[in-house]
Amino acid sequence: MQFGFPIPNGGAMARVEDILKISAAGEQAGFDILAIPDHVVMPRTIAPNYPYSKSGDATFATISDGTFLEPFALMSYVAARTEKIKLMTSVIVVPYREPMLTAKLASTIDDLSGGRVILGCGVGWMPEEFKAVGSPPFEERGKVTDEYIDIYTELWTKDNPEFNGQYRSFNDLMFAPKPIQKPHIPIWIGGESVPAMRRVVRRGQAWFPSDANPKTPFDTAKRFQNGVNKLYEIAEKEGRLTESINLAFWAISSCGVCEAIKLDDGSRKAFTGNADDIIEDIKAYEKIGVKSILFNFLQDSCEATVDKIEAFAEEIMPYFAKN
């Protein structure tokens, strides 16, 4: 089992000192992945479209001063200050960036870091930000994401890449450096919907859903198993071997050991509660096939965040020590 968590790229802890302390604490404690979210700008007025709250309100946006460090720039910096831990976008909004540039940024960091990049990809949820950054229309974000991911893999894997799509076309060019990881940088597809699952099957190496989407709650092992069953059903129809799809999970509601969260039916939300509860949840998701779980250790201060990281490493991770 691999464990990871996000580092701060927005808010009060988006400072060099805090980022380095939190990143170092994670690597020293034996974590496997540092994750970085993505926003380019933060519109002052946002309609209630956020998929990970019942109300649709993005509360993190309303308390932000607009600070969001660019994920690839931050990833490059953290790569230079760490040695082994993997670095993941969690997740980039694929339509926000010209695809050839995204492919170049990711492959360059993979080259400089010794092959430590994971590209988490999502379609985005905020029409206001799409408009602000000049992306293709929000309503076309699924098609755009699919095409851009195809461009990434074409550039990463072909000596003479060429592409003829709806949004981008190119030929007669060289693209280097190629990623160190072969056949290419692993692509983890975020999202819980059927279109996201289809994207995983057709283009991804891993499915990376969250526990926090009220429309498709994967907040118990049973509910997550139902989601995996649907993913595998799609894979079988598409001719993809289910064992070739890695399962990862974003326990966004969990900061490690904490007060148990009760669901509407009275059951406990997965990955909340005491250490024994969380250990049992990890085992249950591992049995389903999950190989990587990210927790949300970010607190109001760097010190409190590091405490959460170290406590998880001491209380939980020894039960899943690598052989």
Walk me through the domains of the chain, giving residue ranges and CATH numbers: 2-320 (3.20.20.30)
CA 11 to each of CA 7, 59, 61, 88: distance values in angstroms, whole numbers, following the listed order: 11, 12, 10, 19
Q: Return per-residue pLDDT of the chain as tens, 323 residues.
A: 999 999 999 989 999 999 999 999 999 999 999 999 999 999 999 988 888 888 888 766 655 688 899 999 999 999 999 999 999 999 999 999 999 999 999 999 999 999 999 999 999 999 999 999 999 999 999 999 999 999 999 999 999 999 999 999 999 999 999 999 999 999 999 999 999 999 999 999 999 999 999 999 999 999 999 999 999 999 999 999 999 999 999 999 899 999 999 998 999 999 999 999 999 999 999 999 999 999 999 999 999 999 999 999 999 999 998 64
pTM, to two decimals: 0.96
DSSP one-letter string for 228-275: HHHHHHHHHHHT--GGGSEEEEEETT--SS-PPPBPTTSPBPTT-SSH
Look at the block and give the residue holding tokens 């056949």.
183
Three-class SS of 166-229: CCCEECCCCCCCCCCCCCCCCEEEECCCHHHHHHHHHHCCEEECECCCCCCCCCCHHHHHHHHH
CA distance 12 to 29: 24
Mapping DSSP to helix (H, G, I), strand (E, B) and coil, where does residue 315 land? helix
Reference 20, options 1, 34, 38; nearest CA is 34
Is the CB of residue 7 less than 8 Å from the CB of residue 36?
yes
Q: So what's the pLDDT on residue 55?
A: 83
